[in-house]
Structure formats: C-alpha cells, structure tokens
C-alpha cells in the first residue's frame, strides 16, 4: 500500500494482488464469464513464431496460439475465465494468468491450477502454409 498526504487529506493507493512486477497483466473485464471472441480473418503470425510445447499470446486479438505437438496448432481465448485478466505467458505446457495464478493445459485449455474453474474457450484459427490467421 502506498499512502500520501496532500492538500485534500490522506490519499491511499492499493497494489493489485498477485505481487511481483508484471507489467503485462491486463485489468479484469466487467464480466469474466463472457469471452470476447476475436474478429475473423486477422493475421496472427507465422507457425515458426509458435514453439513446440509452448505458445504465443496475441494481446491485441485476445487469443493465445499453442503448438502442443509438432505441426498441431490450437488457439484459445486469452481472457482468463476466473476474473477476466489476460493470460500473459505459455510455459511448461500451461497457459498462465498472472493475476491470480490460474493455469490451463495447452492441449485443451482445461484448468490445471485455480482459482479458475472453467477452461479457456477454444478459438478458430487457420494455418495456411506458414501463416496463422483467425478463422
């Protein structure tokens, strides 16, 4: 907590839970139960941008693209089903939310660690040659 005294009296600012210095965490949306699906047809990146056994978060499109096994590409909403924060990374076979520690399997988006209870919704993508686009 940060406190300061100004002309108007005491001012308080509370730090977000989760700790650490993670500037990539997004603010929760008003209703975390609703997934905001990305618009179709948008270019995301190249297949070479997605590591085998890992993935890449596309913040602007609110989608995370993963490659669980070589040549198999899947996409999920990048909006955590717990409180609507954006997932920030993919590591050790999971899609990770920095806000409260939820983790989701890259194979199917299911929860491996809470507090989230619902899986990440799958998103449709197209792989054409080495290009990945939203379907």
pLDDT digits (tens, 9 = 90+) for 90-122: 999 999 999 999 999 999 999 999 899 999 999
Phi, psi values for residue 42, rounded to 5°: -75, 135
**Which residues, including other chains, have CB under 8 Å from residue 72's CB and lie 6 or more apart?**
none
Distance CA 71, CA 69 (A): 6
Q: Determine contact, residues 133/39, Cβ cutoff 8 Å.
A: no
Band of the pLDDT at 42, cuts 50, 70, 90?
confident
Residue 33 has pLDDT above 80, yes or no: no
- Give, in words, the CATH class of 25-134: mainly beta
Q: Point out the least confidently predicted range of 18-22, 34-38, 105-109, 119-123.
A: 18-22
Q: Within 10 A of 112 (CB to CB), how many other CB atoms are there?
A: 15
- Its sign, for the CA torsion 82, 120, 38, 36, is negative
Q: What's the predicted TM-score (pTM) here?
A: 0.70
The number of residues making up the chain comes to 135
Q: Determine contact, residues 84/120, Cβ cutoff 8 Å.
A: no
pLDDT given for residue 129 in this prediction: 92
Q: Determine contact, residues 84/77, Cβ cutoff 8 Å.
A: no
Q: Which residue has the tokens 């209870």?
A: 117
pLDDT given for residue 134 in this prediction: 93
For the chain, domain boundaries:
25-134
pLDDT given for residue 96 in this prediction: 96
pLDDT tens-digit readout, 76-88: 999 999 998 999 9
């Amino acid at each position: 907590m940060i406190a300061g005294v100004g002309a108007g009296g005491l001012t308080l600012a509370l730090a977000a839970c989760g700790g650490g210095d993670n500037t990539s965490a997004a603010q929760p949306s008003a209703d975390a139960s609703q997934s905001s699906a990305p618009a179709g047809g948008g270019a995301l990146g190249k297949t070479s941008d997605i590591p085998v056994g890992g993935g890449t978060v596309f913040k602007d499109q609110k989608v995370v693209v993963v490659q669980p096994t070589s040549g198999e590409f899947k996409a999920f909403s990048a909006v955590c089903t717990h409180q609507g924060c954006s997932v920030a990374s993919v590591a050790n076979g999971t899609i990770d939310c920095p806000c409260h520690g939820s983790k989701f399997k890259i194979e199917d988006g299911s929860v491996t660690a809470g507090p989230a209870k619902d899986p990440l919704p799958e998103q449709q993508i197209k792989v054409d040659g080495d290009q990945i686009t939203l379907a």
